[in-house]
Amino acid sequence: MITQIHERRNSKNNIEDVIISDDIFKEARERLDIVDVAQRYGLQLDRHGKCLCPFHSEKTPSFTISREKQLWYCFGCNEGGDVIELAAKLLKLSRMDALRRLNDDFTLDLPLHNRPLTIAEKRIAAAQQAQRERARVLQERFDAWCQKACRTLTDYHRMLWYWRRDHAPQSEDAPLDPRFVYSLQHLDRAEYLCDILITGSGEELLDLYKTCGNEVNEIAAFIQHEADATTA
The binding site for Zn ion (CB under 5 A) comprises 53, 55-56, 74, 76-77
21: which residues sit within 8 A by CB, 6+ positions away? 114
Minimum distance between the CB of residue 73 and Zn ion, rounded to whole angstroms? 9
Q: Which is nearer to Zn ion, 76 or 200 (CB)?
A: 76
Sheet of strand 63-66, all strands in order from the earlier edge strand to the far edge: 50-51, 63-66, 71-74, 80-82
Q: How far is residue 170's CA from residue 161's CA, in Å, rounded to a whole number?
A: 17
E strands, 79-150, where?
A: 80-82
| Sign of the alpha-carbon dihedral angle for 226, 228, 231, 232 | negative
Q: Which is nearer to Zn ion, 27 or 58 (CB)?
A: 58
Q: Which is nearer to Zn ion, 64 or 152 (CB)?
A: 64
Minimum distance between the CB of residue 4 and Zn ion, rounded to whole angstroms? 17
Q: Which is nearer to Zn ion, 43 or 216 (CB)?
A: 43
Minimum distance between the CB of residue 89 and Zn ion, rounded to whole angstroms? 10
Cβ neighbours of 95 (radius 10 Å): 23
Q: Which is nearer to Zn ion, 35 or 112 (CB)?
A: 35
Q: Report the candidate in 225, 155, 222 with the shortest Cα–Cα distance to residue 193.
A: 155
Taking each continuous run of H as one helix and of E as one strand, the counts in the chain are 10, 4
CB 72 within 8 A of CB 63: yes
CB 25 within 8 A of CB 99: yes
- The radius of gyration of the chain's CA atoms, rounded to the nearest angstrom, is 38
Minimum distance between the CB of residue 21 and Zn ion, rounded to whole angstroms? 31
Q: Which is nearer to Zn ion, 60 or 201 (CB)?
A: 60
Minimum distance between the CB of residue 56 and Zn ion, rounded to whole angstroms? 4
Minimum distance between the CB of residue 55 and Zn ion, rounded to whole angstroms? 5
State the distance between the two ends of the chain, measured CA to CA, in whole angstroms: 98
